[in-house]
Chain A
Amino acid sequence: MTSFIQLLKNENMKLFKRQKIWVFFGLILVMNIIVSLAFNFLFTGIVITFWDYIQVSSYLLMAVQLLSILIAGEIVSSEFEKGTIKLLFIRPVKRVTILGSKYITTLYICFLMVALQLFISVILGLVFYAETLFTINDQVLLGLGTYLFTFIEILVLSTIAFCLSAITRSSMFSIIVPIFLFFSSIAVISILTNNHYQAGKYLLFANTNLMPYFLDEPLFEGMTLAFSIVNILIHMAITGFVAILFFTKRDVHV
């Protein structure tokens, strides 16, 4: 009934009128400045091109990933923790529509932070390495590829944090669990690949990085791009379904 745009406007207002998002943007800026300065003044002996720098800066996406989880993991649960969900749920809007507007907002804020990260590193790259902008080699693809594929990974992780947030109604849980899963699975997957334990390919986090299909070898033999995409979609569909079910059906006791 009420237009979806109005709900997006609301979510937007709640994000940008809070300090948190500006602190995150500031953090991204400061991190990039520190890295670029360190690079420029520490590695004086070797030649670094503009595209080398872009590729290096993509490691900062790891931090952006954490920040995205921090937002995705609380965008739903904070409404429960503060009690404002009661005022949201007594409007002529379907609960699933509210959840949808929050999810779109989460995706959009992830995009915004990745875009900001890329934008800042391009500016800093131009400041320090502008003369090598047109030195075109493998690094161009590698740099931009890392950005694209890490962005996809960020979307998947944020989706999981978001769903957990809707299911458990606890920000703490929905933020810590995806981070823990992500880092522990890096260790687990590397053990499994070293031992050529094939079942490891079904793990979500063995599939979230699609870059190897284009620029490297896949983690396990027999993995294909289609396999990984289907694997990701199945995981997201299941958590998404449970999230919608819990969000729309459960009583609100806060």
Chain B
Amino acid sequence: MLLETKSFHRSSVGIGSLVPIEQIIGDEGDGMQEHEIVLDVVNLSKKIGKSLIIKDVSFQLNQGEVLGLLGPNGSGKTTILKMLVGLLKPSNGSIHIKKFNINTQFEKAITHVGAIIENPILYDYLSGYDNLVHFFRMTERFSYDRIDEMIELLKMEDYVQDKVFTYSLGMRQRLGLAQALLHQPSILLLDEPTNGLDPEGIMNLRETLRKLATEQEVSIIISSHILSEIELICDSVLVMNDGQCIERSFIRDLDNGIDKKHTYTFTLPHIEAAKNILQSHYVGESIQYHASGFSIDLETQGVADLNRLLVNSGLDVIGIERRDSPLEDLFAHKLRGGQT
């Protein structure tokens, strides 16, 4: 059983063909401009007591890049974020934010960072507005206009004067985001920002973050264990497991290559007839049959070809659907691969 899953994943990786990040950065003809590196993490380790909870993690973040920090619970996502903002001191390695070391030049480095670490915990007994005033006062750019701008941007007018203890989780998330954005940071760190948001809230958040990244070139790190969210927001991912970085790649390289194979599900009423055709034309392909159709790994052109073949044979094809998400594939492969 184990062997089977392994070989399945190995083959799916062959199809997905992950490109290591170094290769992408070095690739000039890629169409992507060279961006300033705003965050540079080198050989980061953290030991608490006797256990090493972060092991030698290195990565860089470009200006305007949205990075998804993925991993199961306890894989060290929050610990890394806490080190990035100086709440925890690294046992080893260094973190530079805009060329400033977070531990030796703390104030200069942290000015460029806005963050929500874990759930946004604000002062319950103050109003949302007072919370914003409080945290904004601690930076040098304080202005009431900017607070009003932020309230408008995140559509908090209706409740910003209420005490925070009356807020729903979604409202708190938004207030948390507002306090992180007030001082116009160049790096935004968000720990599970979609926690407690309703679908509409998630959509709004996604839009806001996209805008920040494209219009203001804010670099964003989002940690999450919900794959679909990361995939929709992020340019790249860093997959953590057991304190180690096990993958760092750009989403667009996982996704959408015309010459890459993906699993497609064909839905059609005459499955038996289709089976005959497939068995004669697609020898050696792994095809899974369901009650209402079948799944097959194909390239984009292959889908068209198969569809034509089926239609020409007089079969009705009701639907063709690409089933897998490239990130899910990567995640499953990397994590299970790492554990077995």
Interface residues of A (CB under 8 A from B): 1-2, 6-7, 9-10, 13-14, 17-19, 82-84, 86-94, 251-253
Contact = CB atoms under 8 A, between A and B. Distances in A.
Given A1-B107, A86-B87, A91 B123 contact: no
Nearest to B133: A13
A252 B88 contact: yes
Interface of B, helix, strand, loop or mixed by DSSP:
loop
Interface of B: 48, 82, 85-89, 106-108, 110-111, 113, 115, 117-118, 120-126, 130, 133-135, 137-140, 142, 179
Given A87-B121, A252-B82, A92 B140 contact: yes
A65 to B, nearest CB: 25
28 contacts: A1-B107, A1-B140, A2-B137, A6-B137, A7-B137, A9-B137, A10-B138, A13-B130, A13-B133, A13-B134, A14-B123, A14-B126, A19-B125, A84-B122, A86-B118, A86-B121, A87-B121, A89-B86, A89-B87, A90-B85, A90-B86, A90-B115, A90-B117, A91-B138, A92-B138, A92-B140, A93-B107, A251-B87
Contacts, number: 79
A1 B111 CA distance: 11
A90 B113 contact: yes
A6 B137 CA distance: 6
Contacts of B133: 13
A87 B126 contact: no
A10 B117 CA distance: 21
Contact of A83 (B106, B121, B130, B135): B121
A6 B89 contact: no
A92 to B, nearest CB: 4
Given A2-B139, A93-B138, 14 more contacts: A1-B140, A2-B137, A7-B137, A9-B137, A10-B138, A17-B126, A83-B118, A86-B121, A89-B86, A90-B85, A90-B87, A92-B139, A252-B82, A252-B88
Contacts of B115: 90
A2 B140 CA distance: 6
Nearest to A82: B121
Given A14-B126, A86-B87, A91 B139 contact: yes
A204 to B, nearest CB: 33
Nearest to A11: B134
Contact of A10 (B108, B110, B121, B134): B134
A88 B138 contact: yes
Contacts of A9: 137
Contacts of B121: 82-84, 86-87
A92 B123 contact: no
A9 B142 CA distance: 13
A165 to B, nearest CB: 17
A215 to B, nearest CB: 43
A84 B131 CA distance: 11
B125 A92 contact: no
A2 B83 CA distance: 23
Contact of A92 (B111, B126, B179): B111
A233 B88 CA distance: 33
A214 B179 CA distance: 54
A86 B111 CA distance: 15
Contacts of B142: 6
B327 to A, nearest CB: 29
Contacts of B117: 86, 90
Nearest to B179: A87
A133 B140 CA distance: 52
- Which 9 pairs across A and B sit closest by C-beta, in order of nearness? A91-B138, A83-B121, A92-B107, A252-B87, A6-B137, A90-B85, A92-B111, A251-B88, A18-B125
A89 to B, nearest CB: 6
A83 B124 CA distance: 11
A6 B138 contact: yes
Given A89-B87, A92-B111, A17 B125 contact: yes
A91 B110 contact: yes
A183 to B, nearest CB: 31
A109 to B, nearest CB: 16
B126 A2 contact: no
B85 to A, nearest CB: 5
A94 B106 contact: yes
Nearest to B113: A90
A88 B179 CA distance: 11
A169 to B, nearest CB: 14
Nearest to B114: A90
A95 to B, nearest CB: 9
A180 to B, nearest CB: 29
Contacts of A86: 87, 117-118, 121
Contacts of B85: 89-90
